[in-house]
């Protein structure tokens, strides 16, 4: 706005100078008319500048009022951690959850009732729910005894019951979201019964999400069974209108890649105008990502999907306490090496900072990651909590 005012006032002063005789134009017989014309031009320019600036202000206000749309994709505890941080901001959230889990309570319900595994969905619902702490504890409660009940979580059983009541898993998740006053949407990546199949470098083929980390080999290729899958229409719609698409953190081969391997998913992400952000794991995972650096995580994804997908990568640059390192080393897990130069060569904008919260284990700090994501979108207003 200052530029418009300065230019307009400069021209106006020139016109006033002509009329006052300060600026003499001996070769111009109609100096008065010239002065008036210059003043008129200054007024027109000022009016145009004011109109242009007001339009920009209105656009900026409209942008600030519009809730940013963020799609977070993954599974396991990583996705629910990210969601807990993002729900503190005025954003529209959609969680796209992998449904390939076949172990524990989820696997038993999957086999017994021919339904998608509810465990990761349950964690995301709880993370986004606007409920009393007691209800959250109830949904996460796991039975420690009882024939047929031992090992099951109450939330998983609740989703299984809702699936039978509503007739399908997608409707069950939608109605459960309504009951729990979930801030956002939680969507399974696909409706179908999906299983993972890993081809190892030694030629061995392993099936089942729970069996892959136990195989003890290096994974060369991961695929979904069956392969003729389609993402949910609501998932594709959310991706199309997203301002940011966040992938990870989570198990590379059993949480992150399963969503991206659904036919049509990567194409939808690539076409979206959203900023694509990959949140890399803090620690390596035995049987999945042994010895993999941050760039190796990205290369593994690119090798499977056949293209560059991400604009940004978030990596932890803070050291872990010796106590934590010793605990992880006893489990054959180590900090993911952050090779920034190689990440830059992959065409990624690297954001390396302290993203870790350490209690018993080192996890991503949901608040720090969420703040970084929304700041990349130029949005810093916190959600006002009542």
Which helix H or strand E contains 373, and what residues bound it? helix 366-376
The helix/strand/coil state of 157 is helix
Share of the chain above pLDDT 70, in %: 81
Residue 115 pLDDT > 60, yes or no?
Answer: yes
277 versus 4: which is more confidently predicted? 277
What is the tens place of the pLDDT at every residue in 242-296? 999 999 999 999 999 999 999 999 999 999 999 999 999 999 999 899 999 999 9
Residue 60 is predicted with a pLDDT of 55
Residue 9 pLDDT > 80, yes or no?
Answer: no
What is the side-by-side strand order in the sheet with 185-188?
185-188, 91-97, 68-74, 244-247, 275-279, 312-316, 349-353
What is the tens place of the pLDDT at every residue in 204-246? 999 999 999 988 888 999 999 998 999 999 999 999 999 999 9
Q: How confident is the model at residue 3 (pLDDT cuts 50, 70, 90)?
A: low
Residue 5 pLDDT > 60, yes or no?
Answer: no
Share of the chain above pLDDT 90, in %: 61
Residue 30 pLDDT > 80, yes or no?
Answer: no
Least confident span in 169-183, 267-281, 288-302, 368-382: 368-382
Residue 47 is predicted with a pLDDT of 72
1 versus 60: which is more confidently predicted? 60
Residue 347 is predicted with a pLDDT of 96
Residue 236 is predicted with a pLDDT of 97
CATH number of 68-98+189-376: 3.40.50.10680
What's the token pair of residue 114? Answer: 């021919």
Closest by alpha carbon to 351, among 318, 321, 323, 326? 318
Residue 15 is predicted with a pLDDT of 54
Residue 27 is predicted with a pLDDT of 52
Instruction: Name, of 6-15, 116-125, 144-153, the range with top average pLDDT.
Output: 116-125
Residue 74 pLDDT > 70, yes or no?
Answer: yes
What's the token pair of residue 132? Answer: 């009393």
Residue 361 pLDDT > 80, yes or no?
Answer: no
Residue 58 is predicted with a pLDDT of 66
Least confident span in 38-42, 224-228, 303-307, 372-376: 38-42
Torsion of CA 214, 216, 220, 224, to 10 degrees: -10
Task: Yes or no: say if 364 and 81 are a contact pair by the CB < 8 Å rule.
Answer: yes
What is the tens place of the pLDDT at every residue in 63-73? 445 689 999 99
Residue 385 is predicted with a pLDDT of 38
363 versus 9: which is more confidently predicted? 363
Question: What distance in Å separates the CA atoms of residue 9 and residue 141, rounded to the nearest whole number?
Answer: 71
Strand partners, 186: 95
Degrees, nearest 5: CA angle 236-238-244: 115
Q: How confident is the model at residue 358 (pLDDT cuts 50, 70, 90)?
A: confident
Residue 13 is predicted with a pLDDT of 61
Residue 24 pLDDT > 60, yes or no?
Answer: no
Calculate the average pLDDT of the chain.
86
Closest by alpha carbon to 72, among 225, 261, 255, 194? 255
């Amino acid at each position: 706005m200052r530029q418009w005012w300065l230019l307009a006032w400069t021209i106006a002063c020139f016109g006033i100078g002509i009329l006052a005789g300060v600026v003499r134009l001996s070769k111009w017989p109609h100096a008065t008319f010239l002065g008036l014309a210059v003043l008129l031009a200054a007024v027109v320019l000022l009016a145009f500048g004011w109109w242009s600036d007001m339009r920009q202000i209105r656009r900026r206000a409209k942008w600030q009022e519009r809730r940013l749309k963020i799609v977070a994709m993954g599974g396991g505890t990583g996705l629910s951690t990210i969601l807990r941080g993002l729900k503190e901001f005025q954003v529209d959230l959609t969680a796209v959850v992998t449904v390939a889990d076949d172990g524990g309570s989820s696997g038993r319900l999957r086999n017994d009732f021919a339904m998608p595994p509810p465990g990761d969905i349950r964690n995301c619902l709880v993370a986004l729910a606007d409920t009393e702490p007691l209800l959250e504890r109830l949904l996460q409660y796991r039975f420690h005894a009882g024939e047929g009940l031992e090992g099951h979580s109450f939330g998983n059983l609740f989703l299984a019951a809702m699936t039978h009541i509503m007739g399908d898993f997608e409707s069950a998740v939608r109605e459960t979201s309504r009951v729990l006053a979930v801030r956002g949407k939680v969507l399974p990546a696909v409706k179908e019964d999906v299983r993972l199949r890993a081809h190892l470098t030694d030629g061995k083929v392993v099936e089942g999400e729970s069996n892959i980390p136990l195989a003890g080999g290096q994974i060369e290729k991961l695929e979904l069974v069956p392969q003729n899958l389609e993402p949910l229409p609501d998932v594709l719609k959310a991706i199309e209108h997203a301002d940011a698409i966040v992938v990870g953190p989570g198990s590379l081969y059993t949480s992150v890649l399963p969503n991206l391997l659904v036919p049509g998913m990567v194409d939808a992400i690539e076409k979206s105008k959203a900023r694509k952000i990959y949140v890399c794991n803090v620690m390596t995972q035995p049987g999945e990502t042994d010895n993999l650096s941050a760039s190796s995580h990205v290369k593994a994804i690119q090798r499977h999907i056949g293209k560059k997908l991400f604009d940004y990568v978030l990596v932890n640059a803070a050291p872990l306490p010796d106590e934590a390192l010793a605990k992880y080393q006893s489990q054959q897990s180590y900090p993911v090496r952050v090779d920034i130069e190689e990440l830059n060569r992959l065409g990624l904008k690297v954001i390396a900072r302290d993203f870790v919260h350490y209690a018993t284990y080192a996890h991503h700090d949901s608040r720090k990651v969420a703040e970084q994501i929304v700041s990349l979108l130029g949005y810093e207003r916190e959600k006002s909590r009542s």
